[in-house]
Structure 1
Amino acid sequence: MADISRLVFSLSKLGIKALERLFKASVRVYGAENIPDGVSILAVNHFTRLETLILPYQIYKLTGRPVMSLAHHGLFTGPLGSYLDGVGAVSTKDPNRDKIIIRSLLMGEHPWLIFPEGSMVKDKKIVESGKFLIYSATGTRRPPHTGAAALALRTEFYRRRLCHLRQTDPALLQQQLEVFDLSSPDQVSERETFLVPVNVTYYPIRSQQNAIEKIASYVVRDLPERIVEELQTEGTMLLSGVDIDITFGKPLAISPLLKKRKIQQDILSQRPILPDGVLPSRPLMRRIAGNLTRKVMASIYLNTTVNYDHLIAYILKYYPGHRLNLFDLAERLYLATETVTKLKNIRFHSGLHHDQCVRLCRRYHQILADFLEVAEKGGVIRMEGNTIHKQKLRMKPLFNFHTIRRDNPYQVILNEVEFLHPLTRKLRVVAEQPQWLLRWRLRRKFLRIAKQEFADDYKAYYRQDESKPRKIGAPTFYRRFRPKAGVLLVHGYMAAPEEVRPLATYLHQHGYTVFTPRLRGHGTSPEDLALRTWEDWLQSVERGYLVLANSCEDVVLGGFSVGAGLALLAATNMLYKVRAVFAINCAMRLRRRSARLAPAVVLWNKLADKLVKDDGRRHFVPNEPENPHINYFRNPISGVKELMELTDELSKRLDRVSVPALLIQSSDDPVVHPEGIKRIYEELGSQDKELIMFNSDRHGILRGDVSERVFARVLEFLDKSVTS
C-alpha cells in the first residue's frame, strides 16, 4: 500500500518553500472554494513537469492534507523512485494501482492528483475535428484517458455498496472490506466522491538557454534533445519569471451518475464483487466514464487563464492582410482586451484587468516586442522596422512534438485557447476590422472619455464664484482635413486648456490638427486638484495622445510649464507615431523654495486630520495668477507635492527621450528657474535638440508681447520635424 512518509513529505515541503524564494515564478490560485471537504480526485492538465511539484504543495497549503498522485512508471528508478515512494506517488504500472487508489479514496485520507491526458501535452493541442484528441507516443492522436473518471465512479460505487452491505449482510460486508485491506466499515468515509477539474496556465511561455540547462549539460554529456528542451523551457520559466495561474473548477458530483438501474442492481447485489471481476454494469460505467472525462476536459480548458500572448497570437492569425505596423497591432490588442474581458465565464490574466489605456501608452511596447520575438523565431512573421510581415505559408508548420515549446511557442499559444470559441470569435472580429473603422472608433472613444470625465468632474466639484465657465476647462479638438501632423498641447498647473488656446489656434491655422487635453483636477476647482496625482495628469496626456494618434500619421507632443514636463515624460515611453516634442517654460525647478516643503505640509495635514481641527493646517495657499480668468486662486499643497514628484520622475527618465526636442524658456521667468531648462537640455537623450531663451520677465509667454515670436519658433520646429 502507498503511504506518505512524513519525513520525506516535510523535507519536500521545505525544499519547495526554498525554491519559491529562489525562483521567480509567481503562483496565483483561483477557485480554492471549489475543493470539497470530502473525497476528491483532482484532474489536471499536464504541460510541464512543474505541475507534479507545485500542485501538491499548493493543495496542501489550501487543505492541510497531503496529496497523492500517479506518476509515470519510468520515474520509479534509483533515488528518484525512492523519493516518489516517500511522497505517496503510485506507478502507472503498479499491478495494485487501482486497488490502492480506491482504498485511499474510500478512507478519505488524501486527495488524489491525476492527469487525464496521461503525459505532457507540449503542443497544447487537445481538440481535433470537434473531439478531444491528444498526441500519443506513437505519433498519432488519441482520446484522453478515462482513468480519473473511472476511479471516481468505482470509488463511489464501492462506497454505496459497502454502506448497503453494512445494513443488510455483515458477512459479505467483511469479505468486501478485505478486498481493500480494510478491517472495519468505520474506516470508510461517508463523504461523497467528487471529481475536480484543475487548470494550470503559464505566462509567458518562453524557451532559451539558461543556467539550469547549462549545468545539466555539463554534468551529463549528450543529453537527449527532449530533455534539453524541457530544461530550456521550464528552466526559463523558473529563472526568468513566469505567472502560474491555478484554477480549481466546479466539482463534479459522482453520486448522481450511479442512479442508473443496472448500476443500482450491482450496488445491491448479494454476491462478492472484486475490483477486476465481472460486473454487468461495467459497459455502462465505461460509457459514463467516457462522457465524464469529456466533461472534465472541457471544464479544465474552459478555465484556461487568457493572457496577452493569446490575444496577440489570434489577432495575427486572423488579420486579413500580409503586413501591419506595430501601432495598428497595439491598438487591435487594446480593443481586443477591452472587448473580450467583458465575456463571462472566462478567466483573464490579472494584467488584462488593468487600465489598458495606460498600458497601451506605457507597456504595450515591451509586451509586443517580447511576443513578436517569439513569433519571428517560429517563422510566423518577419520584422522590418515597425512593420510586421506575416509568413502565411508557415502559420501551421509541422514541428517535433517534443521540441515545439522551444521551436514554435506561437503555435502552442494558439492551441491553448482554441477551445474557447466565444473568445476566438471576438478576436476574429477585432482582427478583421478595417483600419479606418478601428481608428474612427478609438478616436471617438477617447474623445468621449475626455469630455465625459470633464463634465462629471465639473458637476461634482463646481464651486460658486470660484469655478470658471465650462468653456475654459473643456478639452478641445482643433481638427483639420489632411493635416501636416497632430499636435498635443498640454496646459500648466492650476490652469486649463484655455491657457494654450492662442498657440493651438495658431498651429491649427497653419495646417495642424491640435488637441488640448484637460489635466485631471483642472478647470473645475482646487478641491478637485487636491485629490489628483501626477499619474492622473499623465493619463490625461496619454488619452489626448491616443486621440491624435488615431487622427494623424505623425504626432508631436508639446506643453507649457507643468504641461511641458508631462509632454517630455510621455515622450520617454517611446509612443508610436511621436516624431518630436517641445517644452515651453518647463516647470523643472521652481523659484519658490517653499514648494519643497510641500511633502512635509501634506504629512502634517494628514496627521492633523486624525486629531481635532487646528488652524495650523494649511491645505491650500493663496495664488496670484497671471491669468485670473483661467487659473485657480487657491493652490492645494498636495498638488505642489505631486508637482515635485513629477519633476523627480522626469529627471530620472530624460535620457529616454530620443525624438527631436525644442526647449523654450523665459530669461527672467518669475515662476520657473532658467537653470532647470538647462539641466533638461543637458540630460535629454535626443541627438537633435535645441534650447532657445526669450528675453522676457513673464512665465505665461503664450500671451503678451513675445507670444508671436514663440509661436513662430514652434511652427518652424514642427515643420522641420514632420517633413524630415
Structure 2
Amino acid sequence: MFKKDLLIDSSGYVLNLLEKILSTNIKVYGIENIPKDNPKIFVANHFTRIEALVVPYCLYDITNKKVGVIADDGLMKSYFGNFLQNIGALSKSHPNRNNIILSDLLTAKKDWLIFPEGRMVKAKDITKEENHYTVKINDNKSRVFTGSAFFALYSEILRQEHINNNIKNKNKFNRKYLINENDTIATNETMIVPINITYSPIRTGENFLQKMTKRLFDNISEKFLEEIEIESNIVLNSKIIIRILKPISLHKMLKNSYGLELNHNTIVEKLRYELTHKFMKKIYENLTIRFEHIFILILYHLKEEKICKLYFKRIIYLVAKRVKEDCTLFEDDIKNDIINLISYEKYPIFDEILKIAIKDKIISQTRNDYIINRDILLNMHTHDTIRLKNILRVVLNEVLIIDKMNEIVKQKVELTHEQIDEELLHILQEKEKNEFESDYYKFSSNSNIKPKDIGTPYLLKDNSSKKCILLIHGFSSAPKEVEELAVYLNNCKFNVYAIRLKGHGTVPEDLKDTSYKDWYNSVSRSVTIASLKYEEIDVVGFSTGGLLALLSSKKYLPKLKSIVCINAALNLNDIRIKTVLPAIDFWNDIVSSFNAHSLKKEYVENKARYPKINYDKFYIKAILQLKELMKVTKQNLEKINRKILIIQAKNDPVVNMSSAYEIHDKIKSKNKKLAIFELDEHVIIKGKNTKIVFEKIEQFLLDK
C-alpha cells in the first residue's frame, strides 16, 4: 500500500505523486465561471473513482479553498481513505452528513462537490425522460438524485431566514448546524456550479500501474481489476477535461417564495427537481465532442449493415466540419485540420479507433467495405464489464444524449455517394479560396504584400482531358512561380492545377508561423479536390514542392499515377543553413536567457532571383520547418515506389546535385528516371532554357 507521506502534505492535499502523474493530463476550462465570494456546490457527472480525488484537488488549486466530496463508503475504506478524509470528504452513510454540509454552505468555510448520479455510471447510460434524467445500471433505472439541489436550496433558505432575523431559537440553530461563536453566516447566496468531466481518449489495456497493483494486493476482485485497468489508463494515457460551466443563481429561483408562509420543506420539494434538471442538462449537453464520438455515432445511425471505407471517412469529415460550425465544445482531434483523413493515407486517430472496433468485433472488413455487427455494437454487457468488453458503446452512450450531434449525423448518413462527393468538393474548394482570402486580408495593411494574383491558386482547364497535373511551387514562393510550366502543360491538353502552400504568396510574416505539416495539408487538400474531379492525377513539385510531391506518393490513391520532382530541396548548397542558422539560434538562446528579447534575430535577408514572386527575407522559424521537411522526406524515401521522374540542374546554386542521386538511389520505384541538365539556375521552370525541361516532363507524363 502507498505510504501516507506520498499522498498528503501538512494541509491534507496531494503533493508529489498526484501532481507528477496528473500535471500534464488535466485541462481545466471555465475557471472564470467560479463565483469568487459565494458558498458553492459543484455538481458533476461521475465515471471514475479518481474524480473524487482529482476534481477537489483541481478546485482547491484554483480557489485555495477546500472542497469536500460525498464519497462511496467503499472508497472511504480504500487506500484513498486517508486522502479523502484530509480534504474533508464524508461517506454517504455519515450520520450527521446533511448538517455538516449545510454548516459549510452557511458559513462558506468549505465548498462541496456532489455527483448527482449517486454512483459511477460506467456505461454512461443516461436518458432524458420528460423533465428529468434517468440513470440505467444493468436493468435498473433510477432518477438522478436531487440531494445537491436540496442542500443548495435549503442552505439559501436558512441564510435568508438568518439575515431576516427569522430564526426563533438561535442556540438550537447554531447547535444543529455546527455554528461556533466565532463563525459568521455568509451573506452571499449559495450557487450551483455544474461541471462536465470528459476523458480523451478512453482506452483499455494492461499497463504498469495495473501490473503493480496486482503485485501489491492479493485476492483482487474482478470489479476492482476492471476499475484499476480503466482508471490507470486514464491517468497514464488520457487527457482529463474538467469544464466548469456558468453558475446557477438560487436567489432568482427562490425570490418568489421569500416572505410567503410556506414550510421550508414545501419550497425545497417544489424546486429541487426543476433545479436538478437544469444543472444536469448543462452537464450532459456540454460534453467535449471527440473524434471517436463521430466515428461510433455514424455506425449507430447507419441504416445499412455495411459502409464503403472511402465514404465512411468522407462522412466523418463532413460531420466534423458541421460540429466545428454548430457545436461549441470539441477536442483538438476535431479542431485541427483533418484533411489527411480523406486524402488516401493512414490516419492515426481513425486507425486506432478502427482497431478497437475490429478487436471488439463491432466491425469486420472486406477489401472495400466495413461490415457492422449491430448486435455487438449495442451490447451493454454489465455495469462492471462494459468498459472492458465494449468501450465504444460507452463512448456512444455519452453522445446519444446530445440532440444536435444526432441530428447532424442522421442528415449526413442519408446522403448518397454522389451527394457526399459534391458537398465535399464544394467544402474543399471554398476552404482553399477562403484560406488565401483570409491570409491576404490579415496582412493587407503590410506595404510589402504581394499583388493578389501572385498567390492565388488557379486551374487551367482542358475539357478534352480527364487527367490533372498538380503543380507545387517552392519555399517562400507562390503559384505564380509555376505559371510558365502550367501554361505549357495545359497547351499539351492537360488540366493543370497550381496550388498554394499555406503561408505563401502574401508576406514573409505569413510564412513565419506555418509548419511543414501545413504545407503538406495544402497538398493533401489539392490531391483530394483533383481526385473528386479527374480520373488521373500526376504531381509535379519544384524545389520544396518537390519534397512535398515525394511525400504525397505515400497516398493510397490508384488515380495518382506519377511524381515529378524538379530540383527537390533535399540537400542545400546555401551555407547559411549549415553555419549561420545554428549561430543565430545560439545567439537567440543567449539573449533570451537575459530577457533581452529585442536583440533576437528573427530572420535573414534573401536576395531573390524573382523578387516579385519570392519573399525578401526568410524567418528562422520557417527555415527550421524547411529543415524538418527535408529530414522527414529523407526518412520516407525508401517507402516510395511510384513512377517518378527526378530532374536536377547540374549547377544549381541552391540545391546540391547530390539530392537527385540520393532520391534516385533510395526510392524503391521500378519505373524511375533521372534527368540531369547542364543548367546553372535553381529556378529552371522560368525564363530561358525552360523548353528542354518542359519537354522532358511532357514526354514523361505521356509515357504510359
Q: TM-score interval w.r.t. the shorter chain?
A: 0.7 to 0.9
Deviations along 1:207-257, one digit per CA (max 9) or x if unpaired, are 111222222233445532222221111111222x21111112222222344
Unpaired stretches in structure 1, ≥5 consecutive residues: 267-279, 626-630, 720-724
CA distance in structure 2 between the partners assigned to 1:623 and 1:133 by the alignment: 68
Whether contact under 8 Å (1:605, 1:619) holds in the other structure is no
C-alpha displacement of 1:678: 1.8
Mapped contact 1:565–1:586 kept (Cα < 8 A): yes
Match of 1:290 in 2: 273
Tell me the residue number matched to 1:205: 202
Q: 2:146 — aligned with what? A: 146
Q: Does 1:305 align with 2:319?
A: no
Amino acid aligned to 1:209: E
Could you say if the C-alpha distance between residues 117 and 494 of structure 1 is closer, same or farther in structure 2, counting changes exceeding 3 Å? closer
What is aligned with 2:135? 134
Q: Contact conserved, 1:461 with 1:525, CA < 8 A, in 2?
A: no
Matching of residues 484-499 of structure 1 within 5 Å: 486-493=468-475, 496-497=478-479
1:674 and 1:589 map into 2 onto residues whose CA distance is 8
Partners of 1:56 and 1:466 in 2: how far apart? 52
Match of 1:108 in 2: 108
SS in 1 for 2:261: helix
Deviates more, 1:77-86 or 1:292-301: 77-86
1:444–1:56 distance in 2 versus 1, CA, 3 Å: same
Q: Is 2:230–2:387's contact at 8 Å kept on the other side of the alignment?
A: yes
Looking at structure 2, the residues matched to 205 and 8 of structure 1 have their Cα atoms a distance apart, in angstroms, of 25
Task: Please point out which of 614, 634, 641 is paired with 1:660.
Answer: 641
Give, in angstroms, the shift of residue 535 of structure 1.
Answer: 5.4
Matches within 5 A, 1:227-266: 227-239=224-236, 241-259=237-255, 264-265=260-261
- Encode CA deviations 1:359-398: one digit per residue, 9 max, x unaligned: 7669980111112222223332223456422223433223
Equivalent residue runs for 1:338-357 within 5 Å: 338-343=321-326, 346-357=328-339
What is the identity, as a one-letter code, of the residue corresponding to 2:171?
Answer: Q
Q: Which residue of structure 2 aligns with residue 20 of structure 1?
A: 19
Unaligned runs of 5+ in 2: none
Compute the displacement of 1:451 (Å). 4.3
Please give the secondary structure, in 1, of the residue aligned with 2:691: coil
Task: Give per-residue Cα distances to partners, 1:447-491, cap 9 Å, x unaligned.
Answer: 344445556777977999997894x76423245679766542213
Counterparts of residues 560-571 of structure 1 (less than 5 Å): 560-571=542-553
Match of 2:170 in 1: 173
Q: Which residue of 2 aligns with 1:328?
A: 311
Partner amino acid, structure 2, of 1:696: E
Q: In structure 2, the residue corresponding to 1:132 is in which secondary structure?
A: strand
Taking a change above 3 Å as real, the CA distance of residues 434 and 535 of structure 1, as seen in their structure-2 partners, is same
Give 1:715's aligned residue. 702
Bigger shift: residues 423-432 or 252-261: 252-261
Residues 242 and 385 from structure 1, CA distance in 2 versus in 1: closer, same or farther, beyond 3 angstroms? farther
Query: Which residue matches 1:188?
Result: 185
CA distance in 2, matches of 1:173, 1:510: 97
| SS of the residue 2:103 aligns to | helix
How far did 1:60 drift? 0.3
Against the structure 1 CA distance between its residues 371 and 610, is the aligned structure 2 distance closer, same or farther, given a 3 Å change threshold?
same
Q: 1:13 Cα deviation (Å)?
A: 6.3
Distance apart, 1:501 and its partner CA: 5.3
Point out the more displaced range, 500-509 or 314-323.
500-509
**CA pair 234-644 structure 1, distance change in 2 beyond 3 A:** closer
Provide closer, same or farther for how the CA distance between residues 486 and 654 of structure 1 changes in structure 2, counting only shifts above 3 A. farther
* Corresponding residue SS for 2:400: coil
CA distance in 2, matches of 1:431, 1:707: 45
Whole-angstrom CA distance in 2 between matches of 1:549 and 1:231: 47
Residue 362 of structure 2 aligns with an amino acid whose one-letter code is: V
* 1:402 Cα offset (Å): 1.4
Q: For 2:109 and 2:692, how far apart are their aligned partners in 1?
A: 87
* C-alpha separation in 1, matches of 2:29 and 2:448: 52
**Matched residue, 2:378:** 396
2:527: which partner in 1?
Answer: 545
The alpha carbon displacement at 1:104 in A equals 2.2
* More moved, 389-398 vs 145-154: 389-398
What does the per-residue CA deviation read over 1:398-440, in whole Å, with 9 as the maximum and x for residues that have no partner?
3112121221121111211222212321232233333322322
Q: Distance in 1 between matches of 2:233 and 2:383?
A: 19
1:312–1:325 Cα change, 3 Å: same
Aligned mates of 1:11, 1:480 — CA distance in 2: 78
The separation in 1 between residues aligned to 2:21 and 2:180, in whole angstroms, is: 46
**Residue 71 of structure 2: aligned partner:** 71
- Within 1, Cα distance between the matches of 2:444 and 2:256? 67
Q: Which moved more, 1:301-310 or 1:321-330?
A: 321-330
Which amino acid is the alignment partner of residue 649 of structure 1? Answer: L
Q: Which position in structure 2 is the counterpart of 1:414?
A: 396
- 2: distance between equivalents of 1:465 and 1:308? 41
| Whole-angstrom distance in 2 between the partners of 1:530 and 1:254 | 50
Contact 1:527–1:636 under 8 Å retained in 2: no
Q: Residue 376 of structure 1: which of 358, 364, 375 is its match?
A: 358
Q: CA deviation at 1:141?
A: 0.9
1:336 counterpart letter in structure 2: V
Q: Distance in 2 between matches of 1:713 and 1:469?
A: 33
Say yes or no: does 1:704 pair with 2:691: yes
User: For the structure 1 residues 142 and 48, does the alpha-carbon distance in structure 2 shift closer, same or farther, using more than 3 Å as the test?
Assistant: same
Q: Could you tell me whether the CA contact under 8 Å between 1:602 and 1:637 is conserved in 2? A: no
1:679 equivalent in structure 2: 662
Deviation at 1:107, TM superposition (A): 2.0
Secondary structure at 2:56 match in 1: helix
Contact 1:533 1:639 in 2 (8 A): no
AA aligned to 2:221 is P
Deviation at 1:441, TM superposition (A): 2.7
Secondary structure at the aligned position of 2:378 is classed as coil
For residues 587-631 of structure 1, what are the alpha-carbon distances to aligned partners after superposition, in whole Å with 9 as ceiling and x for unaligned? 2234454565663798899999958xxxx9996454446xxxxx7
The 3 A distance-change label for structure 1 pair 574 and 236 is farther
* Residue of 630, 642, 646 corresponding to 2:626: 646
> Among the aligned pairs, what percent are the same residue?
26
Q: Structure 1's 362 and 238: CA in aligned 2 closer, same or farther, altered over 3 A?
A: farther
1:509 CA drift (Å):
7.6
Post-superposition offset of 1:326: 4.4
Kindly name which structure, 1 or 2, has the bigger radius of gyration based on alpha carbons: 1
Within 1, Cα distance between the matches of 2:134 and 2:173? 37
Farther off after superposition, 516-525 or 149-158: 516-525
- Distance, in Å, in 2 between the alignment partners of 1:7 and 1:520 is 50
CA drift of 1:554 comes to 6.0
Structure-1 residue corresponding to 2:413: 431
The RMSD of aligned alpha carbons is 4.2
Deviates more, 1:372-381 or 1:478-487: 478-487
Q: Does 1:215 align with 2:215?
A: no
Contact residue 106 and residue 159 of structure 1 kept, 8 A: yes
- Closer/same/farther in 2, CA of residues 603 and 168 from structure 1, 3 Å limit: closer
Indicate the SS of the match to 1:638. Answer: strand
* Distance in structure 2 (CA, Å) of the matches to 1:33 and 1:536: 33
**What letter is aligned with 1:650?**
M
Looking at structure 2, the residues matched to 538 and 443 of structure 1 have their Cα atoms a distance apart, in angstroms, of 19
1:453 & 1:573 partners in 2: Cα distance? 24
The alignment status of 1:31 with 2:13, answered yes or no, reads no
Distance in 2, matches of 1:187 and 1:465, equals 66
Q: Residues 431, 119 of structure 1: CA spacing in aligned structure 2 closer, same or farther, 3 A cutoff? A: same
Tell me the residue number matched to 1:157: 157
SS at match of 2:109: coil
Residue 116 of structure 1, CA deviation: 0.5
Say if 1:618 and 1:506 are closer, same or farther in 2 by CA, change over 3 A: closer
Task: Tell me the TM-score normalized by structure 2.
Answer: 0.84
Q: How far apart are residue 119 of structure 1 and its match? A: 0.4
Distance 1:68 1:678 in 2: 68
